[in-house]
Amino acid sequence: MSTLAETSPTEVDILIVGAGPAGLYGAYYAGFRGLRVAVMDVLPQPGGQITAMYPEKPIFDIAGLPSVRGRDLVDNLLAQAAPYEPIHLLGHQAVELTYDDGLPVVRSAQGAIVRAGAVVVTGGIGTFTPRPLPTADAFEGRGLVYFVRRLADHTDQDVVIVGGGDSAFDWAASLAPLARSVTLVHRRDRFRAHAATVERVRDAGVEILVNSAITATEGADLLETVHVTHLPDGTAREIKAQSLIAALGFTADLGPLLDWGLELRSRRILVGTDMATNLPRVYAAGDITEYPGKVRLIAVGFGEVATAVNNAATVIDPEAELFPGHSTDGPAERK
């Protein structure tokens, strides 16, 4: 995986904005077509919503894979594109689109400048920011986390999870077998999580504290203690914890993409059947697109980004065929 020097303008055939599943598959497709490709994402890790929200969940509706763990799907997408050496610009938020001699130029807030033959926007639901847990923010990175990046990081820890949705309960179910203890704290006595998952978590021995909130956190340097208050009567309880997972949901924001002059509907990018937007040489694919009958699924994003890249290829090189040929037509050894 190559990295771009932050200030050097770079030239690629295709710049993909968004390293979610659609963007990562787009990188493969661009490489397969012999196009130089860069993938930019504001997050420090590739994988979009999968990496941020459900890396350990099994996904059951990817064609040809009866069940695949989120993290493994992302790793496989990276491996599929790797032979074509895409440039990965992680931690870069695409903020500005201009044109230079008819070609799109995208600038990131962190200083990268990419001049491309075409841009494919696979920005999903935008940049997501976790809803904060103000009573614990002093311990962010020292016990408080908003994502479980690796289950193993919590091995043999006392873990407190805050939230009542699917993520909170999924983490509780996944961590129960390897953590020393897991306590789930929720403000209400009803859960948004799937009832079957709630039962699984109860059966796994997770203590569930309802109508309760984290009112204070303590620790010398790292987190040591979480104070939980039972809201109806104000009774307080101290729980030993080295790890506090705030699973309170996310806000998502398309932010700067909204100012690019793209034609939008309900904050999504309108595309045609070729995935072209209203802007020259700018295509879109994945969750961010809108058209009649749109279905927001990973499988749909894969198809859309293949269409986007193949159409972009014919704009970059008017001699190029729209149909890329079959991957099976190549040599037995890939690239």
Ligand X SMILES: Cc1cc2nc3c(=O)[nH]c(=O)nc-3n(C[C@H](O)[C@H](O)[C@H](O)COP(=O)(O)OP(=O)(O)OC[C@H]3O[C@@H](n4cnc5c(N)ncnc54)[C@H](O)[C@@H]3O)c2cc1C
Q: Judged by CB under 6 A, how many residues of this single chain contact ligand X?
A: 36
Nearer to ligand X, 54 or 146 (CB): 54
**DSSP H helix total and E strand total for the chain:** 6, 22
Half-sphere exposure of 93 (CA within 13 A, CB side): 11
Residue 261 to residue 259: CA distance in whole angstroms: 6
Q: Is the dihedral of CA 52, 57, 58, 61 positive or negative?
A: negative
Distance (Å, rounded) from C-alpha 110 to C-alpha 107?
A: 8
Q: How far is the CB of 286 from ligand X (least distance, A)?
A: 2
Q: Which amino acid is at 167?
A: S
Nearest to 217 by CA among 246, 233, 239: 239
Residue with Cβ nearer ligand X (59 or 248)? 59
Least CB distance to ligand X at residue 203 (A): 22
Specify the residue, 40 or 309, whose C-beta has the smaller distance to ligand X.
40
Q: How far is the CB of 111 from ligand X (least distance, A)?
A: 13
DSSP class of 131? P
Residue 117-146 contact track with ligand X, rule CB under 6 A, x = bound = -----xxxxxx-------------------
Strand arrangement, sheet containing 268-270: 264-265, 268-270, 289-290
Q: Is 163 in the site for ligand X (CB under 6 A)?
A: no
**Residue in 310, 248, 266 with CA at minimum distance from that of residue 285:** 310
Q: Is 164 in the site for ligand X (CB under 6 A)?
A: no
CB of 219 to ligand X, least distance (A): 30
Site string for ligand X, 38-77 (x = CB under 6 A): --xxxx----xxx--xx----x-x----------------
Please identify, among the stretches 20-28, 154-162, 259-267, 309-317, the one whose residues bind ligand X according to the rule CB under 6 A: 20-28
Cα–Cα distance measured from residue 89 to residue 91, given in angstroms and rounded to the nearest whole number? 7
Least Å from the CB of residue 18 to ligand X: 3
Task: Give the C-alpha separation, 134 to 331, whole Å.
Answer: 56
Q: What angle do CA 107, 255, 312 make, to 5 degrees?
A: 55
Closer CB to ligand X, residue 129 or residue 215?
129
Please, what is the minimum distance in Å from the beta carbon of residue 188 to ligand X? 20
Nearest approach, Cβ of 292 to ligand X (angstroms)? 18
Cβ proximity to ligand X, 239 vs 245, nearer residue: 245
∠ CA 257-40-317, nearest 5°, is 90
Dihedral angle sign, alpha carbons of residues 189, 190, 196, 201: negative
Work out whether 96 is an interface residue with ligand X (CB under 6 A).
Answer: no
Nearer to ligand X, 15 or 228 (CB): 15
Applying CB under 6 A, the residues found at the interface with ligand X are 17-23, 40-43, 48-50, 53-54, 59, 61, 93-94, 122-127, 166, 256-257, 286-287, 296-299, 301
